């Protein structure tokens, strides 16, 4: 009986050792990135030299480090951010965007690492937009009083932010002219004009009724939109 019991115990011990040897090693789950947020999603560069760009990344728990490499797709501009975990799975960081850096689409290449996992780093790419500021300068609708049927001249100039924080005249900018009849609330598109040398524009319309004139620039993938204040004209 004792021999049978000893033999059974020995067989069980051998099986346990075999199981311990052949069982696969346990590994931590690979890191995962669930979301990336860059704010502002549309950054507008002005004469102010720099503005803060905030990055937030949400990951699986257990991630040990997160970095964000922000770069302009075209032209010079880059920020490298080492994010900090502010609560489990939530990483935040920021850097400055300077007004000389390139406008357009920027990419945000995110990399998260889990040092206990052999699955390697996980990466995710997002994007955000940067535009250079503009404004409509010296807008006029003249004369301020005019007889019905006579010409009204709408004029001004479009300015855009240069690489050194200065504004200059933007040539070939499309200006849309709007009119709002006195006593109404709706602006109606009346025509378009393209800026010339120094960003200047001039467009003439036939006087029909009293109201307000406005010039708007809708911007591009590089330039931000802008518009003038309304200028009133009395038609007699």
Q: What's the pTM value of the predicted model, to 2 decimals? A: 0.83
pLDDT digits (tens, 9 = 90+) for 37-96: 999 999 999 999 999 999 999 999 989 999 999 999 999 999 999 999 999 999 999 999
Q: Are residues 48 and 70 in the same domain?
A: yes
Q: List the CATH number of the domain containing 191.
A: 2.60.40.730
48, 52, 220 from 129: Cα distances, Å: 18, 14, 11
Rounded to whole angstroms, how far apart are CA atoms 210 and 190?
14
Q: Are residues 197 and 109 in the same domain?
A: no
Q: List the CATH number of the domain containing 45.
A: 2.60.40.1930
Q: State the residue for tokens 């070939």.
A: 172
Q: Are residues 59 and 100 in the same domain?
A: yes
Does the residue 165 lie in any domain?
Answer: yes
Q: Are residues 96 and 189 in the same domain?
A: no
pLDDT digits (tens, 9 = 90+) for 129-168: 999 999 999 999 999 999 999 999 999 999 999 988 999 9
Question: If you count them, how many residues does the chain have?
Answer: 236
Q: Are residues 59 and 126 in the same domain?
A: yes
Nearest Cα neighbor of 203 from 174, 227, 177 is 177
Q: Indicate if the pLDDT at residue 19 is higher than 60.
A: no
Q: Are residues 113 and 152 in the same domain?
A: no
Does the residue 225 lie in any domain?
Answer: yes
Q: Which domain holds residue 215?
A: 134-235
Q: Are residues 85 and 140 in the same domain?
A: no
Q: Are residues 162 and 87 in the same domain?
A: no
Does the residue 156 lie in any domain?
Answer: yes
Nearest Cα neighbor of 103 from 44, 50, 54 is 44
CB 137 within 8 A of CB 159: yes
Compute the average pLDDT of residues 26-34.
Answer: 74
Does the residue 63 lie in any domain?
Answer: yes
Number of structural domains, the chain?
Answer: 2
Beta-carbon contacts of residue 182 (< 8 Å; ≥ 6 apart): 209, 210, 211, 212, 232
């Amino acid at each position: 009986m004792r021999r049978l019991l000893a033999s059974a115990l020995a067989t069980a011990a051998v099986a346990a050792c075999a199981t311990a040897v052949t069982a696969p090693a346990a590994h931590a789950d690979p890191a995962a990135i669930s979301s990336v947020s860059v704010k502002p999603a549309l950054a507008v560069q002005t004469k102010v030299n720099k503005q803060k760009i905030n990055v937030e990344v949400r990951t699986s728990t257990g991630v040990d480090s997160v970095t964000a490499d922000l770069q302009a797709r075209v032209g010079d501009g880059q920020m490298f951010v080492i994010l900090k975990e502010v609560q489990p799975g939530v990483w935040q960081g920021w850097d400055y965007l300077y007004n000389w850096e390139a406008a357009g689409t920027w990419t945000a290449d995110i990399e998260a690492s889990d040092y206990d996992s052999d699955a390697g780093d996980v990466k995710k790419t997002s994007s955000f937009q940067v535009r250079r500021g503009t404004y409509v300068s010296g807008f006029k609708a003249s004369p301020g009083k005019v007889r019905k049927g006579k010409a009204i001249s709408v004029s001004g100039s479009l300015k855009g932010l240069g690489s050194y924080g200065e504004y200059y005249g933007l040539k070939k900018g499309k200006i849309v002219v709007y009119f709002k009849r006195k006593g109404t609330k709706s602006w109606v598109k009346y025509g378009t004009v393209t800026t010339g040398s120094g960003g200047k524009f001039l467009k003439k319309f036939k006087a029909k009724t009293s109201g307000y004139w406005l010039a708007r620039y809708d911007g591009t993938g590089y330039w931000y939109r802008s518009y003038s204040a309304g200028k009133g004209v009395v038609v007699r």
